[in-house]
Amino acid sequence: MARSGQPRSLGANLRDVVRVGKDLTTSSPSRFAIVVFSSLILLFTGLLSLPIASADRTVTPLADALFTAVSTICVTGLSTVDMATHWSPFGHAVVFVGVNIGGLGVLTLASVMGLVISKRLGLRAKLIAAGDTNPMRAHGGPVNESQTVRLGEVGQLLRTVAISALVIEAGLMVLLYPSLLMAGVDPISALWEAPFYAAMAFTNTGFTPNPGGLAPFADDYLVLSLLMVGVFLGSIGFPVIYTLTRHLWHVKKWSLHTKLTLITTVLLFIIGAGVFLLLEYDNPRTFGSMDAADTTFQAFFQSAMTRSGGFSVIDQADLNGSSLLAASMLMFVGGGSASTAGGIKVTTLAVLALAVWSEAKGRPSVEAFGRRIPSDVQRVALSVVAWGATIVAVSTIAIAQITKEPVVEVLFDVISAFGTVGLSTGVTASLPDGASYIMAATIFMGRVGTVTLAAAVAATSRSQLYSLPVERPIVG
């Protein structure tokens, strides 16, 4: 022990830091996850603020650097600057690394950091990783073991996360490289654009490395199809990928989560394409000037990208107001749990839809595929929707008041931020600093997750050993 008045050794200070890290890990997994993401955002804000990160070697304004860092770590794809021309090769490399880190997921990433701190994957670290597959694990107290991924399987899940991300992005890169060459991209540029597009597709970010975005590939069905495949694989979630790697041809062994995710994802993909086809087929600014085959393909591409992909061939501001509203609804839902996509998640929508159907049929419980969905899962689903709608409403009102832009366009961009989609009507690029901070906060809350934020605020969960008298208020 150091004597009074003498400076402490570096080793003692490091041990204190490690002790604080351990305490943070074991006290609240959700808070630790938020701290990890916040720290990463601050780190990448600093990196993007460096003169070497900008193309003209000047310091990027704090508001733009912070917004880009948030959009990168939260794999959103919105930007207040031109991503293709503003950043230098170093800046693009920072963005590339950031989206791959953020794509791992806030709780999965936090569990890895917790493993580094604690030197082993203990119970709390497993709870953090499992919480990414089941939001109720973010809370304290007992949890029903019939979950997407059991605690004993968390180690395998983490390996699946790392391996699937590496394999899928590498596969996309290999397929995209010759596709970009056939599209007219020179071989040297394609060496960089292929892995960049692969990462942006799998992480559902939507940044493009070349000026003009996807405009040069607007008629290239091969490139666009590969991007859609990458977006789909990233949006279904790591637990689903984990299940498919183990039981691809044994549907009966699929978990309820896997079945609900895949069915709801495919249904929304098809329904979304049909809606865009119906609403935009006569719009000369979007699909009206295309033939039937192009219109159909672009409708499916638009549907896939509004699920969190963020890539865009057409200008979103040219969509009809009805299409903007439909796209906003799809973006609000987002992709699968524990995926690179955002939104309230497709399983949340599926659980609520099943609850409504069961109530309409007068059934005492909510059931699907021979399984009963407990009431606590239904309450979590309802809470996610309520908090998500509240965040979107408050952000829309605040930004609309600051910018005086049309509410429909502001709402579209805000939901795109909350759902970490990346599509924009052009509002985001012209945001003043105050509004950009609000939009960045919306992105952060949408990515970290409303349930995780709620669990982080709650200090501990208390058990109640008594029940109050029942009284039914009038509803409806």
Cβ contact 29:115 at 8 Å: no
Residue 372's H or E segment, with its range, is: strand 371-373
| 404 φ/ψ sector (left φ>0, alpha ψ -120 to 50, else beta) | left
CA neighbor of 240 nearest in space, from 221, 226, 261, 219: 261
For residue 456, give both structure tokens: 């982080």
For residue 13, give both structure tokens: 């200070």
CA neighbor of 316 nearest in space, from 213, 182, 230: 213
| Count of C-beta atoms within a 10 Å radius of residue 330 | 25
| pLDDT of amino acid 139 | 45
Is 427 buried (19+), middle (13-18) or exposed (0-12) by CB count in 10 A?
buried
Report in angstroms the alpha-carbon separations of 402 from 208, 242, 339, 395. Answer: 29, 45, 33, 11
Q: CA 319, 322, 327: angle at the middle one, nearest 5?
A: 70
Q: Which residues are 137's β-sheet partners?
A: none
In the three-class reduction of DSSP (H, G, I as helix; E, B as strand; rest coil), residue 419 is classed as coil
Cβ contact 226:183 at 8 Å: no
Contacts of 429 (CB under 8 A, 6+ apart): 79, 80, 81
Residue 257's H or E segment, with its range, is: helix 256-280
Specify the amino acid at residue 57.
Answer: R
- Distance from C-alpha of 231 to C-alpha of 235, rounded to nearest angstrom: 6
Q: Looking at residue 351, what DSSP letter applies?
A: H
In the three-class reduction of DSSP (H, G, I as helix; E, B as strand; rest coil), residue 218 is classed as coil
| pLDDT of amino acid 156 | 66
- Tens-binned pLDDT, residue by residue, of the chain (476 aa): 445 555 556 666 667 766 766 665 555 666 777 788 899 999 999 999 999 999 999 999 999 999 999 999 999 999 999 998 999 999 999 999 999 988 876 556 655 555 555 555 565 556 555 555 554 444 444 444 444 455 555 666 677 777 888 899 999 999 999 999 999 899 999 999 999 999 999 999 999 988 888 988 988 999 999 999 999 999 998 888 888 888 888 888 898 989 999 999 999 999 999 999 999 999 999 998 888 899 999 999 999 999 888 999 999 999 999 999 999 999 999 998 878 888 999 999 999 999 999 989 888 889 999 889 988 788 888 888 999 999 999 999 999 999 999 999 999 999 999 999 999 999 999 999 999 999 999 999 998 876 566 555 554 455 667 778 888 788 77
Q: Scanning the structure block, which residue is given the tokens 């044994």?
A: 250
Q: H/E/C letters for each residue in 142-203? A: CCCCCCCCCHHHHHHHHHHHHHHHHHHHHHHHHHHHHHHHHCCCCHHHHHHHHHHHHHHHHC
Contacts of 178 (CB under 8 A, 6+ apart): none
First to last CA, the chain: 67
Residue 80's H or E segment, with its range, is: none
